[in-house]
């Protein structure tokens, strides 16, 4: 069955450093992969989408890579700030009916 | 307006109660979703409506009954729930649910506690 794994439940880094989060998937060949941010008690907020034919996508301090050979996506936050502290979820579209499957999330904590 | 609103924000109900969760969006989206999220877990899809028709039901127990009265509104009717149904219930919407590159816009959720 399809499986999505984010390699860390929690990641603690110092302000100003680059945070790198990993999303691996198996038994699936998605055309798109998405990353969302979720703050406690709130709904997820869309950050970035990357297509299978795109190696890298950037938005301000965020960068996402997508390696369909390794079946892996990396999510980077450069020059991290305490305000970046949140849970980050990767998500794949299971089929074209809108069924998003989420990884279990990585809780990022950026310390001043 | 890129907002999805949900009411109520919090709900406490007994196992014999009947209650409803409401969701509204005015982005012109034609796909709407209900997700359930337990603490420290990812959102799990429950239902998908596309063009006001139920297109996906993830084998959700019948004590949860979705309704889509029009393209802007989505309800989730609750009846005879169990304590394990306590969770954050999230509503989301997207353009029309048919394109794989669609972004889903989530509401803030309803925190449900079943006693």
| B108, A43 Cβ separation under 8 angstroms | yes
CA distance A103 to A22: 10
The predicted structure's pLDDT at residue B25: 97
Confidence of residue A97 (pLDDT cuts 50, 70, 90): low
DSSP class of B83: G
Please compute the mean of the pLDDT values over residues A31-41 and round it to a whole number: 92
The predicted structure's pLDDT at residue A7: 80
The predicted structure's pLDDT at residue A27: 81
DSSP lists the bridge partners of residue B105 as B93
Asked if B70 is an interface residue toward chain A (Cβ–Cβ < 8 A), one would say: no
3-class SS of residue B45 = strand
Integer-rounded Cα Rg, in Å, for chain B is 13
Inter-chain residue contact A46 with B103, CB threshold 8 Å = yes
Least confident of A5-9, A18-22, A68-72: A5-9
- N- to C-terminal Cα distance for chain B? 36
Strands A10-14 and A106-111: parallel
The predicted structure's pLDDT at residue A29: 79
| B21-69 per-position pLDDT tens digit | 999 999 999 999 999 999 999 999 999 999 999 998 999 999 999 999 9
Query: Does the structure show a pLDDT above 90 at B100?
Result: no
The predicted structure's pLDDT at residue A96: 57
- Distance between B18 CA and the closest CA of chain A, angstroms: 24
Query: Which residues make Cβ contacts (< 8 Å) with residue A71, sequence separation at least 6?
Result: A24, A25, A26, A28
Asked if B50 is an interface residue toward chain A (Cβ–Cβ < 8 A), one would say: yes
Q: What is the largest CA-CA distance in chain B?
A: 41
- Distance between A30 CA and the closest CA of chain B, angstroms: 9
CA distance A75 to A88: 9
């Amino acid at each position: 069955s399809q499986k999505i794994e984010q390699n860390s439940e929690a990641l603690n880094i110092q302000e100003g450093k680059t945070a790198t989060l990993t999303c691996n998937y198996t038994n699936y060949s998605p055309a798109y992969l998405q990353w969302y941010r979720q703050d406690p008690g709130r709904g997820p907020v869309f950050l970035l989408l990357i297509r299978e034919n795109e190696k890298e996508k950037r938005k301000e301090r965020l960068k996402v890579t997508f390696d369909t050979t390794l079946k892996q996506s990396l999510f980077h936050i450069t020059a991290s700030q305490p305000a970046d502290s949140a849970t980050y979820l990767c998500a794949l579209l299971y089929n074209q009916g809108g069924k998003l499957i989420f990884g279990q999330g990585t809780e990022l904590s950026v310390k001043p | 307006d890129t907002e999805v609103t949900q009411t109520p924000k919090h709900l406490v109900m007994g196992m014999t109660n009947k209650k409803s969760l409401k969701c509204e969006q005015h982005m012109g989206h034609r796909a709407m979703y209900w997700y359930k999220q337990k603490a420290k877990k990812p959102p799990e899809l429950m239902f998908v409506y596309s063009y006001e028709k139920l297109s996906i039901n993830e084998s959700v127990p019948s004590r949860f009954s979705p309704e889509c009265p029009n393209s802007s509104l989505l309800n989730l009717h609750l009846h005879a729930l169990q304590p394990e149904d306590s969770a954050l219930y999230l509503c989301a919407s997207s353009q029309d649910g048919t394109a794989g590159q669609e972004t889903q816009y989530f509401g803030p959720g309803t925190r449900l506690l079943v006693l």
